[in-house]
């Protein structure tokens, strides 16, 4: 029982924390330096407050004692002069009492306070008081005046010494406050830096697995799991780890579905080629009258069959072309004459272009180009097919290959129904067709622009719709310029 409980406890401690626990723990860790800073500030303020109260009390006490000593000096002088005149026992007792009171007050001010260093004038004043208390009854008027003058002089010196000492202590108090303020500022900066480091560490511990998940999702979305394997595992909060495991499962599932799709596409395309060839041959034999003459109704049905067979043959060729492009991962660059390649491609579409009375303008000033001729011709072929299929009757087609600062632009433009700006990017996806109808006798599959986009991607470029004056639709393929072209 105990071993089972211990094992469960260890597993619970070693199990990754949840995202909520990570956030709360990170927040608590980040608050520790701030709590220390608040405690240090509170302690510093309490120390300064205690020092200020203590110094204020000492200053008030010293001021009162100085005032009391000044008053006693006046009383001593009055009592001694009365005794000098009257020479009575009562006057002698009053003078002795005043001298004793002054002696006690002087001792309290100078010698009983251990925090106040006794100035030299205190000893001089005490010695003078002892001497005066012992022989004031034998002094004549002149000697008495001299003794009283010395007493007043020492009292003024004592007052000056006490006030000077209070000013020094006030300056020390100010220095202490400035020092505490300086160290508190240093601690504030250090603790704020520590807090920032802890916040950065905590945010990184949470952001890193999120970035890993983002890269995994992008890899899955771009279908690059074969070239860029997914991370083995996501290390972070428990929820993100579980999400990483599900993405791994999804990656394997998508690879299975992709393999099945490619296999189905490959086998279906190849399996369709043989019966389609037989159907085309049979339609040709019937059209030539080898099986016998046809009446008008039979000839009409044969025409429909021939068109449907041609349509199926075109769709099969496009599927095979798309399947071959999906399987192609390497580019074979060669130095070609771009004008000759463009001219050959236009000649291949010459019959369809003449039937719809298109005028084709070619603008190519490049004498040579380093690229994969198969991919380049495949892009141009699909762009020309789209231009003649969606362009207006008696329209124009412009093919331009130009060099720019860091890229090569292949542009194929035509006059025809314009494409809405919000639909431009979606037409480069597989099996996506626009709202504009084809103006030829065939029906599109939505693979033409997808093939163009994939070819451009394999060549390191991209395809996009751009605006061109005097034309309604223009597709630009931007390819990287590796070497200067003369």
Residues 338 and 443 in one domain: yes
471 occurs within a structural domain: yes
Binning pLDDT at 50, 70 and 90, where does residue 116 land?
very low
For residue range 16-28, list pLDDT tens digits in order.
Answer: 566 677 777 777 8
72 occurs within a structural domain: yes
Residues 47 and 154 in one domain: yes
Average pLDDT in the 416-439 region? 71
> Does the pLDDT value for residue 485 go beyond 50?
no
Q: Quote the pLDDT of residue 127.
A: 83
Average pLDDT in the 54-58 region? 84
Binning pLDDT at 50, 70 and 90, where does residue 223 land?
low
Contacts of 77 (CB under 8 A, 6+ apart): 148, 151, 152
476 occurs within a structural domain: yes
Contacts of 150 (CB under 8 A, 6+ apart): 128
Identify the residue with better confidence: 328 or 79: 79
For residue range 305-339, list pLDDT tens digits in order.
Answer: 777 777 677 666 666 666 665 555 567 788 888 88
Q: What is the CATH number of the domain that holds 400?
A: 3.30.565.10
Average pLDDT in the 160-166 region? 85
Rounded distance between C-alpha atoms, residue 268 and residue 482, angstroms: 39
Q: What is the CATH number of the domain that holds 148?
A: 1.20.120
> Does the pLDDT value for residue 367 go beyond 80?
yes
Average pLDDT in the 98-117 region? 75
For residue range 423-433, list pLDDT tens digits in order.
Answer: 767 777 776 66
Of the given ranges (21-30, 202-211, 312-321, 399-408), which has the lowest mean pLDDT?
A: 312-321
242 occurs within a structural domain: no
Q: Quote the pLDDT of residue 14.
A: 44
Q: What percent of the chain has pLDDT over 70?
A: 78
Residues 68 and 107 in one domain: yes
> Which two three-digit tokens encode residue 233?
């595992």
State the residue range of the domain holding 289: 263-312
Residues 387 and 291 in one domain: no
> Does the pLDDT value for residue 88 go beyond 50?
yes
Domain end residue (candidates: 172, 197, 222): 197
Average pLDDT in the 237-248 region? 74
Residues 303 and 386 in one domain: no
Average pLDDT in the 188-212 region? 80
Identify the residue with better confidence: 348 or 193: 193
Residues 279 and 358 in one domain: no
Q: Quote the pLDDT of residue 262.
A: 65
Q: Quote the pLDDT of residue 96.
A: 87
Average pLDDT in the 28-54 region? 84
117 occurs within a structural domain: yes
Rounded distance between C-alpha atoms, residue 246 and residue 274, angstroms: 43
Q: Quote the pLDDT of residue 437.
A: 59
85 occurs within a structural domain: yes
Residues 284 and 378 in one domain: no
Binning pLDDT at 50, 70 and 90, where does residue 369 land?
confident
Residues 333 and 303 in one domain: no
Identify the residue with better confidence: 58 or 304: 58
350 occurs within a structural domain: yes
Q: Quote the pLDDT of residue 445.
A: 58
Q: Which residues on neighbouring strands pair with residue 473, listed in sequence order?
A: 414
Binning pLDDT at 50, 70 and 90, where does residue 298 land?
confident
Nearest alpha carbon to residue 366 among 334, 332, 410: 410
Residues 175 and 287 in one domain: no
Instruction: Give the chain's mean pLDDT.
Output: 78
Q: Residue 358 in contact with residue 308, Cβ under 8 Å?
A: no
- pTM for this one? 0.45
Ranges 86-95, 226-235, 273-282, most confident:
86-95
Average pLDDT in the 334-347 region? 87
Q: Quote the pLDDT of residue 442.
A: 53
Residues 339 and 396 in one domain: yes
Residues 268 and 411 in one domain: no
Identify the residue with better confidence: 2 or 69: 69
Residues 52 and 179 in one domain: yes
Binning pLDDT at 50, 70 and 90, where does residue 273 land?
low
Of the given ranges (51-60, 303-312, 402-411), which has the lowest mean pLDDT?
A: 303-312
Count of structural domains, the chain: 3
Average pLDDT in the 439-456 region? 69
Rounded distance between C-alpha atoms, residue 440 and residue 62, angstroms: 113
> Does the pLDDT value for residue 186 go beyond 60?
yes
Average pLDDT in the 333-354 region? 84
225 occurs within a structural domain: no
């Amino acid at each position: 029982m105990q071993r089972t409980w211990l094992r469960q406890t260890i597993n619970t401690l070693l199990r990754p924390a949840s995202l909520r626990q990570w956030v709360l723990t990170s927040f608590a860790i980040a608050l520790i330096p701030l709590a220390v800073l608040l405690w240090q500030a509170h302690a510093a303020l309490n120390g300064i407050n205690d020092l200020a109260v203590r110094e204020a009390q000492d200053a008030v006490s010293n001021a009162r004692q100085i005032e009391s000593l000044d008053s006693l000096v006046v009383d001593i002088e009055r009592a001694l002069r009365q005794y000098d005149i009257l020479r009575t026992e009562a006057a002698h007792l009053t003078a002795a009492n005043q001298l004793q009171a002054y002696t006690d007050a002087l001792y309290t001010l100078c010698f009983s306070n251990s925090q106040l260093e006794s100035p030299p004038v205190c000893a001089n004043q005490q010695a003078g008081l002892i001497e005066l208390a012992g022989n004031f009854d034998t002094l004549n008027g002149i000697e008495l005046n001299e003794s009283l003058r010395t007493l007043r002089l020492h009292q003024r010196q004592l007052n000056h010494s006490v006030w000077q000492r209070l000013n020094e202590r006030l300056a020390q108090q100010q220095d202490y406050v400035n020092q505490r303020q300086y160290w508190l500022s240093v601690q504030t900066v250090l603790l704020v830096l520590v807090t920032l480091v802890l916040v950065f560490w905590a945010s990184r511990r949470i952001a890193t697995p999120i970035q890993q998940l983002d890269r995994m999702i992008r890899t899955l979305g771009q279908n690059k799991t074969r070239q860029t394997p997914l991370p083995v595992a996501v290390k972070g909060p428990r929820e993100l780890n579980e999400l990483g495991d599900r993405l791994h499962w999804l990656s394997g599932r998508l690879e299975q579905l992709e393999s099945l799709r490619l296999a189905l596409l490959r086998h279906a395309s190849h399996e369709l080629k043989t019966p389609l060839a037989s159907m085309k041959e049979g339609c040709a034999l019937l059209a030539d009258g080898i099986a016998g003459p046809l009446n008008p109704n039979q000839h009409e049905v044969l025409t429909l069959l021939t068109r449907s067979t041609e349509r199926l043959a075109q769709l099969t060729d496009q599927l095979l072309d798309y399947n071959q492009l999906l399987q192609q991962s390497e580019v074979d660059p060669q130095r070609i004459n771009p004008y000759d390649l463009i001219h050959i491609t236009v000649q291949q579409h010459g019959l369809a272009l003449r039937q719809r009375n298109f005028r084709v303008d070619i603008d190519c000033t490049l004498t040579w180009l380093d690229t994969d001729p198969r991919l380049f011709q495949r892009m141009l072929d699909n762009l020309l097919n789209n231009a003649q299929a969606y362009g207006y009757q008696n329209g124009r087609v412009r093919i331009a290959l130009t060099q720019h600062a860091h890229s090569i632009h292949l542009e194929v433009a035509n006059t025809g129904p314009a494409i809405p700006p919000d639909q431009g990017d979606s037409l480069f996806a597989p099996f996506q067709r626009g709202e504009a109808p084809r103006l030829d006798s065939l029906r599109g599959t939505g693979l033409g622009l997808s093939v163009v986009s994939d070819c451009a991607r394999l060549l390191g470029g991209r395809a996009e719709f751009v605006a061109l004056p005097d034309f309604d639709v223009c597709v630009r393929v931007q390819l990287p310029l590796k070497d200067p072209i003369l």
